[in-house]
């Protein structure tokens, strides 16, 4: 009769089962959102400066 292999007790640890889907950290999401906002502000300000320059040209 075939004997069973001993179980790996480390692999059965309940703390090792709490893994899940890998998602971006919340701090990374906040940083990316802030960078998008700053980029949009720079682009908006740049377009406003160009329009102001056109008003002063004869």
40: alpha, beta or left? (left if phi > 0; alpha if psi -120 to 50): alpha
pLDDT per residue of the chain (58 residues) written in tens, 0 to 9: 677 877 777 777 777 777 777 787 899 999 999 999 999 988 888 776 666 666 665 5
Residue with tokens 């889907």: 21
What's the pLDDT at 37?
Answer: 95
Single pTM value for the model? 0.47
The two tokens of residue 48 are 């406003």
What's the pLDDT at 21?
Answer: 75
What's the pLDDT at 32?
Answer: 94
What's the pLDDT at 55?
Answer: 62
Q: How far is CA 21 from CA 5, 25, 28, 43, in A?
A: 31, 12, 16, 36
């Amino acid at each position: 009769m075939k004997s069973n292999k001993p179980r790996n007790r480390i692999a059965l640890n309940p703390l090792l089962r709490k893994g899940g889907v890998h998602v971006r950290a919340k701090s990374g999401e906040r940083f990316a959102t802030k960078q998008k906002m700053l980029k949009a502000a720079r682009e908006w300000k740049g377009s406003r400066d160009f329009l102001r320059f056109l008003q002063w040209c004869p």
